Amino acid sequence: MAMACRVAARPLGLVPTMGALHAGHLSLTTQARCDNAILAVSIFVNPTQFGASEDFSSYPRSMERDLALLEEQGADLVFAPPPEEVYPAGFDTWIEPGAVAEGQEGEVRPGHFRGVATVVAKLFTIVRPDRAYFGQKDGQQVAVIRRMARDLNLGVDVVTMPTVREPDGLALSSRNAYLKPHERQAAPVIYRALCAAEQLWRSGEQDALAVLRSELLVESVDYVRVVDAETMVGVDAIGEQAAMVAVAARVGGVRLIDNVVLV
């Protein structure tokens, strides 16, 4: 893969994924196909970003279907390595993100962003993209990767694409496949809470938990926070920099995350 990327035409756009592709992923590949001479896509369920009690073993996998979709999208290169190729025996070098990774997901899922940053750094090194494409749904992940690329002079333009949603507002996610029919019906409460948080924020209030608590299938709420969209530090008022309302909650036991950017 590394050699194929080094001799490929430029510019080269990379869309890193964990597979189980949906319309959100395809919005990234569509944009990358338009922007670049070469479209590369990685499919790798990264074990190091999952905690011991998380869903690595059960994470949706659909390689044959994914490859067919990417062929339709006109992907030139697909990188789908086994774990031992990415993390060979004796691997012991990690990227430790700073403050941008401490709150929200970093607080609830210790070590998650170390795994994310490390695997993305490896993908950037192997593929050598000019641009890399990520979805805004994983807003803190985007901020971590953008900071890493800038701080380490990786020479990759990190492109963020808008969250793709179902008609009822639910953000597309591979983990939506876990939802049972009645849970799927309840899941849009996450987006309703974000919209309520945005309205409350603009009127000087910040508590949107009542919206989430109104849905009986919401088992727990990890956080609802307004943060600076670049630094992920909590903010008390909208300033010149974009802010982001982020939420993580469990609907019927399925953990879902989402956010909206306040501009």
Taking the C-alpha atoms of residue 47 and residue 116, their distance in angstroms, rounded to an integer, is 10
Can 25 be counted among the known catalytic residues?
Answer: yes
**Placement of tokens 């306040």 in the chain:** 262
CB 192 within 8 A of CB 258: no
Of 22, 25, 112, 182, the catalytic one is: 25
Tokens 């970093």, residue located = 106
**Residue 53 neighbours by CB distance under 10 Å:** 6
- Which residue from 24, 50, 16 is spatially nearest to 174, judged by alpha carbons? 24
Measured between alpha carbons, how far is 29 from 39 in angstroms, rounded to an integer?
7
| Pairing relationship of beta strands 157-161 and 218-228 according to DSSP bridges | unpaired
Task: Show which residues are catalytic.
Answer: 25
